[in-house]
Structure 1
Amino acid sequence: RDLLGKSECIEVQRRQLAQMFRCAPSQINYVLETRFTMEHGYLIDSRRGGGGFIRITRVNWFPEPDFLQTLMEIIGAEISGEGMAILLQRLVEESILEEKESRLLGQIINREIESSSTMEEEKDELRARF
C-alpha cells in the first residue's frame, strides 16, 4: 500500500515476492487478492507462469458522476460486517464521510441488524440494503 501511495498502479513478480517471503507463489496470490479487494479500492490482475506478475491498481471511485451507482455495484446483494467496515473506512479516506460519521453510520446499521429478527444467514443481505 505504501508503494501504491506514490502510484496508481504497480506490477510485481509473483516469484520474486514468494522468494522474499519464503512461501509458495499461490500463497502470494491469495494474500494479495484478500487484502487488495474492490471494497478496499483495488483491482488485482495476475498472470501465472514463468513470467507471471501481479498488477495492483488503485481504483478512484470518487469523484464519479454517479458514485452512488458505483457504491451499489461494489456492495452488491450482500455485504459482511467486515466488508461494511472496510467500505466505511474507504469513504473516510476519500473524504466522503468524516470519521465520526462513519462510526455513527456503522453503529446504527449494526444495531438495526442485531435488533432485527432476521436469521443469521440473511444479515449480510439486510446490511447491503441499508
Structure 2
Amino acid sequence: MAGQNISDIIEAYLKQILAAEQQIEINRSEVAAQFNCVPSQINYVIKTRFTTQQGYLVESKRGGGGYIRIEKMQFCDQDHYLNRLIAAIGAQITLPRTLMVLQQLIESELISEREARLIATMLTDEALRIKDQTAAETVRANLLSALLDGLRYR
C-alpha cells in the first residue's frame, strides 16, 4: 500500500467487496470512521471512481438510516451497454471522463489497449485544436459517441 493515497485505498476496498457481490450498501460515516477520514472523502471517491462511465450505478439516501448503494452494471447485451455509455457521455465530455470510458471499453474487451491509446490521442485538446473548451468537449462527445455506435457493427 506504499505510495497509495487514502482515495486509492478506499476505492480498492469498495471494489474488493464489489468483486464478490453485485451491489453493496455502505454507510458513509461508518466507512469514514473505518479509514479515519472525513465523510466527504468517501463522497469524493464515489463521485470520481464509481461513475456510470466506469460501469457503476450509485444511489444514495440521506438521513439517519441513510446509505450509499453502489451497483456494478450488468448488461443483457452489448447494445444495451453501448447505449448506457452513450447516454452517460451526453452532449459534452472532458478528456479525463473520456479516458474512463476507454478504460471501460478495454475491460469489456470491446477495444484493445493499443486502440484505446490511439483514440485517446485523437481526442486530446491538442489534437482537436479547438480553443473554446465547451466546443472541444462537444466535439469530443460527438466523436466518442460515434465510435461507440460504430462498435455495434464490429
TM-score normalised to structure 2 length: 0.73
Letter in 2 for 1:4: L
**Alignment partner, residue 14 of structure 1:** 28
Query: Is the 8 Å Cα contact of residues 79 and 125 (structure 1) preserved in structure 2?
Result: yes
Match of 1:122 among 112, 116, 135: 135
Query: Is the 8 Å Cα contact of residues 88 and 102 (structure 1) preserved in structure 2?
Result: yes
Query: Is the 8 Å Cα contact of residues 62 and 94 (structure 1) preserved in structure 2?
Result: no
Aligned residues: 128
CA distance in 1, matches of 2:75, 2:101: 11
Alignment of 1:82-97 (within 5 A): 82-97=96-111
Could you list the runs of 5+ residues in structure 2 that have no partner in the other structure?
1-14, 144-154
Alignment of 1:59-98 (within 5 A): 59-61=73-75, 63-98=77-112
Could you list the runs of 5+ residues in structure 1 that have no partner in the other structure?
none
Alignment of 1:90-109 (within 5 A): 90-109=104-123
CA distance in 1, matches of 2:127, 2:37: 43
SS in 1 for 2:26: strand
Say yes or no: does 1:58 pair with 2:72: yes
TM-score normalised to structure 1 length: 0.84
Higher helix share goes to which structure?
Answer: 2
Q: Which moved more, 1:101-110 or 1:74-83?
A: 101-110
SS in 1 for 2:77: coil
* C-alpha distance 117-46 of structure 1, shift in aligned 2 (>3 A): closer
Letter in 2 for 1:122: A
Q: Which moved more, 1:44-53 or 1:85-94?
A: 44-53
Q: CA RMSD in A?
A: 2.0
CA distance in 2, matches of 1:77, 1:62: 25
Alignment of 1:40-51 (within 5 A): 40-51=54-65
Letter in 2 for 1:60: Q
Q: After TM superposition, what 4+ stretches of structure 1 lie above 4 angstroms from structure 2? A: none
Give percent identity, aligned residues only.
36
CA distance in 2, matches of 1:4, 1:120: 36
